[in-house]
Chains A and B, each alone.
Chain A
Amino acid sequence: MILDTDVKERSVSFDVPKKIYSMDALRIAAQILAPKIDVYLDETKAAYEVTLKAKRRDAGEAQLTALAGEFGNELLNQEYRFIVGRFNHKISSLIVTQALMAARGGETPAEAPAGESAPEFKKLVADMVRNAEAEVARTMPKKIPHQGTPLPPVKEDAGV
């Protein structure tokens, strides 16, 4: 892969052969790396022309080269995933369908058991709810209004 880096623009450009890589793989790779880069695409007859623009303002030559490598790895991963998916399509579809259909447990959800509509059961549950609410009121600290999500989203480059 021949890289054309422009540190001033925080960008790196390269060509991706259409014979090997699909637009779908490019789009997925771009989506996955979206927190770090903006991706611009153009195309010729034989290749996609990719330009990555780093979101970090301090990205230098080394970082831009690393980002291009990271993008290339993800692109390869996605394209190869398509190949594996096509190759194993029959078996993987069978496994996924089997697992989902078995978990579904049939088309219509099971009715609640008859025992739950009995008056004794309903009374038992009503007592339980009443007792629990009374215990909450008696023993628990006063509930405060909802305060929202306690954490801001994690920043990139948290060291993971």
Chain B
Amino acid sequence: MYRSMFPRDIFDELDNLQRQFQRAFEIEPSIRGAARGSFPAMNVGGTPQSVELYAFAPGLDPDSIEVNLERGVLTIAGERPDDLRVEGQPAQEKEASVHINERFAGRFRRVVSLPDDVDPNGVSAQYRDGVLHISVKRLDSVQPRRIAIH
């Protein structure tokens, strides 16, 4: 009903447009998905020596983040507390109302297939400014090596 009163809702139109753009430019997804918009957002890069993953996961306790690498598949999982719930509980008595609720809360899991040449023992991870940076070394044997000529 509200819609028909404002048939050309600008925000609705923009939202639509954005979705169309996303669909148009979405590259073929891998079988494990990697859907845009899921939590945490991820960037992946590489150097000849390593694969670098960045998970944009703000507001987490680093100890609560699970990072697993098994058979070339990296899993990042954890749970993000709901700030509205935590904040809202005592405030509820004072008639708290939620105006906007866009931030992710709850359990999350993201799975990334890594290249074949990674070293399962060469994983390091650090959490800073809400970004989890995971660096996975590539195996020495497949790294380009300069051969000395005697």
The yes or no verdict on A and B being binding partners is no
A residues in contact (CB < 8 Å) with B: none
B residues in contact (CB < 8 Å) with A: none
